[in-house]
Amino acid sequence: MTSIDAPLAAPVIDVDPFSDDYILNPYPHHALLRDGGPVVRLKHWNVHATGRHEFVRAVLEDPETYCSGAGVGISNFKQEPPWRPPSMVLETDPPEHTRNRAVISRTLSPAALRSLRGRFETEANRLVESLVERGRIEAVKDLAEAFPLKVFADAVGVPETGRDYLIAYGNMVFNGMGPRNALYAKAMANAEEVSNWVWSACQRANLSPDGFGMQIYAAADTGILTDTECATLTRSFLSAGVDTTANAIGNALYCFAKNPEQWQALRKDPNLARAAFEEVMRYESPFQTFFRTTTKETVLGGITIPADEKIMLSLGAANRDPRQWSDPDSFNIGRSTLGHVGFGGGIHGCVGQMIARLELEMVLRALATRVSSIEIDGEPRHQPHNTLRGFETLPVRLLP
């Protein structure tokens, strides 16, 4: 290697992914992140970062060099204790990860999803019909949160009373991946009460017999896992499966309200619902930022990263990287979204993506067959959040 090709240290840039300005409108910051270099170092937090599609993918696909066992938020579990017992899938590496993920994955088989299709469809139609009758709705509470709180929580088999705790818990999980800032503190304000409800919902005695939760316990009955491990794996459904899809539904409505010609295209052919959701995932990725931790010194994009360093992956920036996408800032349900990283990728790629697709397909179909126009009717407000992108409030009018 000639000195001209020798790996360099990452350029330091002044982008703060946890500042109010970034959070409320990340896109100009994403451009700085991508243009700063293949890999940069964030001055404010002293971590490496990449927003380039090519390198986000490369990191996701090399879990031996970029591990998850030290946490997938900004804090390194080896230096700072995690706020909850770590997830047995998200925050582990092979071989444990492989074994635990297989237990979850079996519950989400194509056959299992086929059997949910009818229920999801009925509920989406019922909910959307009642909302169209009302006309003006607050889309976050009335639709985006209501739908997964009904169909996903039913599918896992958790009790009906107290399900709102799942929204609060998701806020803890996803703000908990950020630094210990004001958003973190706010999300954790009621941590004990919320965690207690969730942990109790994950116990064998409180799960319905036919849901994903009890299917996890089947692994305990064969001796692979203890009951406590099964509760922790069930917790993964409740951590990952509600706030993510809720924000996806809100973002989808906003995308279509802002791009009425795309709404008309979907109305004309509701079979485009699945493709439309993929474009929502690319264009307004509900989950924006992941971290990995280097297991050894490595070189990425010609930049040396030392061992045991956190590297931030901006999925949101990668999904609009002009090096990968043509016209990345336009919302177009007819484009190819192949290769978007809204569901992550590699061995940790979203295990629930097929159920997320099923939920969004049913919601978008129910809307597309009943609503001629989605109109913003008030002041939508993005939720200030360390890792999720979505709305705190989204007042809309659904015209029949």
Interface contacts to ligand EJD, rule CB under 6 A: 87, 89-90, 173, 235-236, 239-240, 244, 287
| In the complex, least distance from residue 91 CB atom to ligand EJD, rounded to whole angstroms | 7
Categorise residue 62: left if φ over 0, alpha if ψ from -120 to 50, beta otherwise: beta
Q: What's the CA angle centered on 375, arms 369 and 379, to 5 degrees? A: 140
Q: Name which of 187 and 266 has its Cβ closer to ligand EJD.
A: 187
Q: Name which of 215 and 244 has its Cβ closer to ligand EJD.
A: 244
Q: Name which of 72 and 303 has its Cβ closer to ligand EJD.
A: 72
Helices (H) and strands (E) in the chain, counts: 17, 14
Residues 119 and 148: beta-carbon distance below 8 Å: no
28, 73, 361, 154 alpha-carbon torsion, rounded to 10°: -150
Phi, psi of 157 (to 5 degrees): 95, 30
Q: Name which of 236 and 337 has its Cβ closer to ligand EJD.
A: 236
Question: What whole-number distance in Å separates Cα of residue 169 and Cα of residue 199?
Answer: 11
Using CA atoms, how far residue 268 sits from 131, 259, 261, 262, 280, in Å, is: 21, 15, 11, 10, 18
| In the complex, least distance from residue 286 CB atom to ligand EJD, rounded to whole angstroms | 8
Categorise residue 271: left if φ over 0, alpha if ψ from -120 to 50, beta otherwise: alpha
Q: Name which of 89 and 143 has its Cβ closer to ligand EJD.
A: 89
| In the complex, least distance from residue 383 CB atom to ligand EJD, rounded to whole angstroms | 15
Task: Give the residues across from 42 on adjacent strands.
Answer: 13, 47
Q: Name which of 225 and 396 has its Cβ closer to ligand EJD.
A: 225
Q: Name which of 198 and 374 has its Cβ closer to ligand EJD.
A: 198
| In the complex, least distance from residue 351 CB atom to ligand EJD, rounded to whole angstroms | 8
Question: What whole-number distance in Å separates Cα of residue 93 and Cα of residue 175?
Answer: 22
Q: Name which of 280 and 368 has its Cβ closer to ligand EJD.
A: 280
- CB under 8 A, 24+ apart: contacts of 119-125: 119/151, 119/154, 119/155, 120/151, 120/358, 120/359, 120/362, 121/362, 121/365, 121/366, 123/147, 123/150, 123/151, 123/362, 124/151, 124/362, 124/363, 124/365, 124/366, 125/366
| In the complex, least distance from residue 343 CB atom to ligand EJD, rounded to whole angstroms | 8
Residues 311 and 51: beta-carbon distance below 8 Å: no
Exposure of 306 in the CB half-sphere (CA atoms within 13 A): 6
| In the complex, least distance from residue 382 CB atom to ligand EJD, rounded to whole angstroms | 18
Q: Name which of 94 and 270 has its Cβ closer to ligand EJD.
A: 94
Look up tokens 């699945």; give the residue: 274
Q: Name which of 195 and 262 has its Cβ closer to ligand EJD.
A: 195
* Continuous segment of H or E residues that includes residue 111: helix 110-134
| In the complex, least distance from residue 264 CB atom to ligand EJD, rounded to whole angstroms | 31
Residues 204 and 230: beta-carbon distance below 8 Å: yes
| In the complex, least distance from residue 188 CB atom to ligand EJD, rounded to whole angstroms | 15
| In the complex, least distance from residue 173 CB atom to ligand EJD, rounded to whole angstroms | 5
Question: What whole-number distance in Å separates Cα of residue 242 and Cα of residue 47?
Answer: 29
Look up tokens 């290769």; give the residue: 339
* Continuous segment of H or E residues that includes residue 183: helix 182-187
| In the complex, least distance from residue 59 CB atom to ligand EJD, rounded to whole angstroms | 15
| In the complex, least distance from residue 240 CB atom to ligand EJD, rounded to whole angstroms | 3
Q: Name which of 298 and 386 has its Cβ closer to ligand EJD.
A: 386
